[in-house]
Structure 1
């Protein structure tokens, strides 16, 4: 049985033992999760950040759902195996009332749910500020990394994506029906604008900044 299902069942049993009536929602799509939460509002929602793959084959990221679930009137407690402060801070920024590690003691988790149900503050204000500040620092650093890529022309950006896909200058030239000299000129422009010395460095910088994922093929 999937580890996520086993974990969800263990959490449900812990909550039931303290008098709660949890409802397990197997995510089939982002819309289905939000709809289920809307029908249950104002409930406390335990939201995993790793929701697997939906019916349409799309990856479901719980972090992308925090704001929508919170907007239904539900109070969101995020459960995650990720330890990065910036991830926790982003969840809080988007409306989560608390973030807990997935290895949290189930009694602690159940007690936290009860506190949220009562309307108690469960995240220390100082810690909350620290986590949100970490999220903003990471976003700022990533924005700075991506700024250089905004200087690329559409054709230069396409050449960089093709280099990242493993194509050589000659292959790119044949596909685009231009001379190899033209492609090499475009590659030099890419290197200059990114402040790197080689094609390998350019691709590495693009991967590290997440630019390739943002722009797609």
Structure 2
């Protein structure tokens, strides 16, 4: 059972998301919050499997809450759900360690899929934003991009293989199948790889791969 926390300052949105998630047999909404401070407190108390956060909330915004939850000794996966697709919001969410970023106007199946993926430890980002966000995020100087040769020095051959498959959107199960190894082996490599890259989530690892030119950025479209 996936235990979810919903935080949004609009009562109608909270109710709608809660109804959507609660209707699923494998998802339980353990709490709802109307501001960031309340969301942070409830998340620490209840330890949900995924925290669904709005960006603009009183007290603390979603990015600030995400930063606290993702930096904790036992991080709580965060899915940002927002009506705003401005680049700075997406960049802020990624830098805070959020596992996913999705627009609220996404269809219900997309939202449910995203909640399940983030709870399972996978990253997700709105498909309409992916190419532009990866390109612009990778080009930001403050992230201090390095060369692919430097990446070779940071990662083992197996970790590099996993990172490339991760950038293709593969799950742990798919990566294990592609490399003919156990899922537990993939998880162990990921656990060692993320600290090496200085990132806190699979999604940040994918961004790191593009930023460091380990994976080529598609310049078309």
How high is the TM-score relative to the length of structure 1?
A: 0.51
Asked whether the equivalents of residues 89 and 133 of structure 1 are also in contact (C-alpha less than 8 Å), the reply is: no
Q: CA RMSD in A?
A: 3.1
Asked whether the equivalents of residues 31 and 42 of structure 2 are also in contact (C-alpha less than 8 Å), the reply is: no
Match of 2:219 in 1: none
Match of 1:33 in 2: 39
Distance 1:120 1:62, change over 3 A: closer
Residue 84 of structure 1, aligned match among 83, 86, 89: 86
Q: Which has the higher helix share?
A: 1
Match of 2:103 in 1: 101
Structure 2: gaps (5+ residues): 1-7, 144-221
Asked whether the equivalents of residues 86 and 132 of structure 1 are also in contact (C-alpha less than 8 Å), the reply is: no
Match of 1:17 in 2: 23
Residues 12-21 or 117-126, more deviating: 117-126
Structure 1: gaps (5+ residues): 55-59, 140-217
| Alignment of structure 1 residues 199-214 onto 2, 5 Å | none
Deviation, 1:44, is 0.2
| Alignment of structure 1 residues 30-179 onto 2, 5 Å | 30=37, 32-41=38-47, 43-51=49-57, 53-54=58-59, 60-72=60-72, 73-123=75-125, 129-130=134-135, 132-133=137-138, 136=140
Distance 1:101 1:137, change over 3 A: farther
How high is the TM-score relative to the length of structure 2?
A: 0.50
- Tell me which structure has the larger Cα radius of gyration: 1
CA offsets per residue over residues 83-104 of structure 1, 9 Å max, x none? 2122112101111011011211
- Is it true that 1:7 corresponds to 2:7 in the alignment? no
Distance 1:62 1:121, change over 3 A: closer
Match of 1:197 in 2: none
Asked whether the equivalents of residues 11 and 34 of structure 2 are also in contact (C-alpha less than 8 Å), the reply is: no
Kindly tell me the number of residue pairs found equivalent between the two proteins: 131
Aligned partner of residue 124 in structure 2, secondary structure: coil
Asked whether the equivalents of residues 92 and 132 of structure 1 are also in contact (C-alpha less than 8 Å), the reply is: no
